[in-house]
Amino acid sequence: MDEPGVDPKNVVRIFDTTLRDGEQSPGASLTSAEKIDIARQLARLGVDVIEAGFPAASPDDLEGVRRIAQEVGTADGPIICGLARANKNDIDKAWEAIKDAAKPRIHTFLATSDIHLEHKLRMTREQVVQRTREMVSYARALCEDVEFSPEDAGRSDPGYLVEVLTVAIESGATTLNIPDTVGYLSPDEYGALMEQLIAETPGGDRVIWSVHCHDDLGMATANTLAGLAAGARQAEVTINGIGERAGNTSLEEVVMAIHTRPTFYHLSTNIDTTQLARTSRMVSNFTGIVVQPNKAIVGANAFSHEAGIHQDGMLKHHMTYEIMTPETVGLSQSNLVLGKHSGRHAFRVRLKDLGVELGEDELNQAFDRFKELADKKKLVTDADIEALIADEFYGPEEVFSLAGLQVACGQPGMPTATIKLTGPDGQDHLAAAIGTGPVDAAYQAIDQIIATPATLVEYRVNAITEGIDALGEVTVRIRRNDDDSPRTFGGHGADTDIIVASAKAYLSALNKLLAYTGYQDRKPEGEASTVRVNAAVPAN
């Protein structure tokens, strides 16, 4: 497709809020190690801004944002942004968390719709204007880069929005973001609103206008593109479109629309599109939120051609049914990547191509896993290598690790699993259980050792590559039984043995739950630890 010359005025800044609005999705809780890994991957992807979290939410959230600011917010890296309600405490916390980044940004927000003013804030319109003035000025005194969002702008009176946004600019805001918080508007309405605000807000030519849409009516991507067509030059998006309720605008959809239709949109981004598939997989694996197969750009079927007529067309010329190639989004066509005769050097080079950087010890560890896999599987693909790396190095801190697993199953029979886990005490523990199937038996055996009451709410298996020797990938989500919150914990495991992959996924979710509940030293004195290792079954 033809590329127009890139006019700097038409470069859209990609503001990724996967770690903030995305993490607010039901069930998407990430450990701080996972947040850092995602932030690093977002930097590799080339996003301009990472909204790393909401520091006032908890000391853990503040710490998570601070680590991202310190480790990913380098001079040549992205802007690191922290969200704050329009009050001094939130703004102070956000600043504390992001100030070590080379390019910090405070993002403060205050609702402007009458519904929010009356029922949530219990403030008058005048009070909201006054608070905007005070808090944007306060944030600006701390940080040169300040973004202001009138929450629920989509249902706010446009005339009143102009008044509030004018005050935000006068008080030092450098980016004005217009959220359709509840995904209510149609693309025509959202585009017209954006056009009106840009035209009527005095000083509007001195700031960056930003779009932030939710997908309640399935219009987030269309609304975002309409806002950009109306003059906005920042898009707030999440990987895989995860977020509150129906989610946020999906990063990959907006980026690929702009990339695939340059002569229509006349826009460009700084995104390395070949990192899209990888980033999508990482976010899905870490959050436990599975991407639907027909999801645009990153769904498993997005580049599959099943119908005979389509296959025939594709064989004649790929452009008959393909508007973008799988390679553009980082899906490798070549199956043969490495095999059992490949050496350490070839493995290292392949990892580098995939954007994975490992220290010498980690490389050795990964190479051993690769050799094991190559013994079982003839062809080891990029997807296999990524799954292996994710399995080995990403994921929660290991409280319990899998030391052994044996199952007996069949028909008729009593599916039985024997499991050995190494616990936080460094000891191995054994348990055996009978279940409805081998996975159920393995999970029951794990439950006997880790006495943390949790319910399995989702279990999915996926073959990473085709073929009988494919690496199986299992994603699970669990919920703590004695907890009223909707928070669930995702886990992920990969192995050529699907029962082993299932046990690893369940353990990784349990490890996350244990890390979240503060399994060790954070327990007040005298209170029983959340982790009760069933000491009656030591391995030796």
Write out the residues near ligand KIV by the rule CB under 6 A. Answer: 21, 109, 149, 151, 177, 179, 181, 212, 214
Backbone region of residue 152 per phi and psi (left: phi > 0; alpha: psi in -120 to 50; beta: other values) = left
Contact of residue 250 among Zn ion, ligand KIV, none (CB under 5-8 Å per partner type):
none
Per CB under 5 A, 180 contacts Zn ion: no
Contact of residue 386 among ligand KIV, Zn ion, none (CB under 5-8 Å per partner type):
none
Minimum CB–partner distance for residue 232 and Zn ion (Å) = 15
Minimum CB–partner distance for residue 321 and ligand KIV (Å) = 36
Show the tokens assigned to 90: 């939130």
Minimum CB–partner distance for residue 246 and ligand KIV (Å) = 12
Minimum CB–partner distance for residue 15 and ligand KIV (Å) = 10
Q: Enumerate residues 6+ apart whose C-beta is below 8 A from 355.
A: 41, 44, 275, 278
The CA–CA distances, whole Å, from 123 to 116, 157, 296 equal 9, 16, 41
Considering beta carbons, is residue 14 or 498 the nearer one to Zn ion? 14
Minimum CB–partner distance for residue 436 and ligand KIV (Å) = 42
Minimum CB–partner distance for residue 8 and Zn ion (Å) = 28
Contact of residue 151 among ligand KIV, Zn ion, none (CB under 5-8 Å per partner type):
ligand KIV
Considering beta carbons, is residue 21 or 384 the nearer one to Zn ion? 21
Number of neighbouring beta carbons within 10 Å of residue 361: 8
Considering beta carbons, is residue 237 or 366 the nearer one to ligand KIV? 237
Minimum CB–partner distance for residue 215 and ligand KIV (Å) = 11
Backbone region of residue 518 per phi and psi (left: phi > 0; alpha: psi in -120 to 50; beta: other values) = left
Region near Zn ion per CB under 5 A, out of 13-21, 267-275, 415-423, 436-444: 13-21
Alpha-carbon distance of 272 to 6, in angstroms, equals 15
Per CB under 5 A, 215 contacts Zn ion: no
Alpha-carbon distance of 241 to 248, in angstroms, equals 5
Alpha-carbon distance of 300 to 383, in angstroms, equals 12
Contact of residue 508 among ligand KIV, Zn ion, none (CB under 5-8 Å per partner type):
none
Minimum CB–partner distance for residue 212 and ligand KIV (Å) = 5
Minimum CB–partner distance for residue 109 and ligand KIV (Å) = 4
Show the tokens assigned to 160: 């009143």
Region near Zn ion per CB under 5 A, out of 15-23, 55-63, 403-411, 471-479: 15-23
Alpha-carbon distance of 326 to 382, in angstroms, equals 14
Alpha-carbon distance of 147 to 107, in angstroms, equals 5
Minimum CB–partner distance for residue 358 and ligand KIV (Å) = 35
Alpha-carbon distance of 113 to 128, in angstroms, equals 10
Considering beta carbons, is residue 86 or 439 the nearer one to ligand KIV? 86
Contact of residue 275 among ligand KIV, Zn ion, none (CB under 5-8 Å per partner type):
none
Q: Enumerate residues 6+ apart whose C-beta is below 8 A from 28.
A: 22, 242, 287, 288, 289, 490
Contact of residue 381 among ligand KIV, Zn ion, none (CB under 5-8 Å per partner type):
none
CA 395 to chain centre: 13
Minimum CB–partner distance for residue 19 and ligand KIV (Å) = 13
Residue carrying structure tokens 């693309």:
187
Contact of residue 67 among Zn ion, ligand KIV, none (CB under 5-8 Å per partner type):
none
Per CB under 5 A, 386 contacts Zn ion: no
DSSP state of 378: S
Considering beta carbons, is residue 183 or 424 the nearer one to ligand KIV? 183
Contact of residue 149 among Zn ion, ligand KIV, none (CB under 5-8 Å per partner type):
ligand KIV
Pick the binder of Zn ion from 15, 16, 20, 21 (CB under 5 A): 21
Considering beta carbons, is residue 48 or 151 the nearer one to ligand KIV? 151
Minimum CB–partner distance for residue 56 and ligand KIV (Å) = 12
Alpha-carbon distance of 429 to 448, in angstroms, equals 10
Contact of residue 303 among ligand KIV, Zn ion, none (CB under 5-8 Å per partner type):
none
| Sheet strand arrangement including 401-408 | 401-408, 416-422, 428-434
Number of neighbouring beta carbons within 10 Å of residue 254: 28
- One character per residue 96-125, x = contact with Zn ion (rule: CB under 5 A): ------------------------------
Considering beta carbons, is residue 56 or 388 the nearer one to Zn ion? 56
Contact of residue 223 among Zn ion, ligand KIV, none (CB under 5-8 Å per partner type):
none
Region near Zn ion per CB under 5 A, out of 14-22, 128-136, 256-264, 469-477: 14-22
Alpha-carbon distance of 148 to 133, in angstroms, equals 11
In the 3-class helix/strand/coil scheme, how is 116-179 assigned residue by residue? Answer: HHHHHHCCCHHHHHHHHHHHHHHHHHHCCCEEEEEECHHHCCHHHHHHHHHHHHHCCCCEEEEE
Alpha-carbon distance of 73 to 319, in angstroms, equals 40
Considering beta carbons, is residue 24 or 406 the nearer one to ligand KIV? 24
Contact of residue 163 among Zn ion, ligand KIV, none (CB under 5-8 Å per partner type):
none
Considering beta carbons, is residue 150 or 438 the nearer one to ligand KIV? 150
Q: Are β-strands 416-422 and 49-53 bridged in parallel, bridged antiparallel, or unpaired?
A: unpaired
Nearest alpha carbon to residue 327 among 388, 236, 259: 259
According to DSSP, the residues that pair with 342 across neighbouring strands are none
Minimum CB–partner distance for residue 363 and ligand KIV (Å) = 40
The CA–CA distances, whole Å, from 245 to 182, 411, 441, 479 equal 9, 42, 34, 18
Per CB under 5 A, 151 contacts Zn ion: no
Considering beta carbons, is residue 213 or 225 the nearer one to ligand KIV? 213
Q: Are 178 and 194 in contact (CB under 8 A)?
A: yes
**Which stretches of the chain bind Zn ion, using CB under 5 A?**
21
